[in-house]
């Protein structure tokens, strides 16, 4: 039996909710989902930090009464 039909059978079994012998396909699928979830989480935390930095910068400029619409728009766009 060559490798591609065997892999295709394992993929179909996983799609049908059955686990191939050894459970290797399902475990690797879970690992990929966890890796994707971690990557998404890291990206969201990065976005949150950038948004916080932009808000703090805006707060500082409001306190200093140093606001110009265009400069602020450019600064926030660069931060995000």
Q: What is the pLDDT of residues 55-64, one digit of tens each?
A: 888 788 778 7
Tens digit of pLDDT for each residue in 66-79? Answer: 667 777 677 777 77
Tens digit of pLDDT for each residue in 3-50? Answer: 455 455 556 655 655 554 555 667 888 899 999 999 999 999 999 999
Q: What six digits make up the tokens of 30? A: 């879970």
Between 24-63 and 3-15, two packed helices, what is the crossing angle to 10 degrees?
70
- Residue 61 · residue 73 · CB < 8 Å: no
Find the domain containing 54 and state its range. 3-79
pLDDT of residue 80: 66
- Residue 25 · residue 13 · CB < 8 Å: yes
- Residue 61 · residue 72 · CB < 8 Å: yes
Which of 29 and 65 is assigned the larger pLDDT? 29
- Helix ranges (DSSP H) in 1-80: 3-15, 24-63, 69-79
Count of structural domains within the chain: 1
Statement: the pTM of the whole predicted model exceeds 0.85: no
């Amino acid at each position: 039996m060559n490798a591609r039909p065997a892999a295709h059978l394992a993929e179909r079994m996983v799609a049908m909710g059955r686990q191939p012998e050894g459970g290797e396909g399902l475990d690797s699928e879970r690992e990929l989902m966890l890796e994707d979830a971690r990557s998404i989480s890291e990206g969201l935390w990065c976005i949150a930090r950038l948004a916080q930095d932009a808000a703090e910068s805006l707060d500082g400029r409001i306190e200093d009464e140093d606001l110009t619409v265009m400069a602020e728009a450019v600064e926030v766009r660069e931060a995000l």
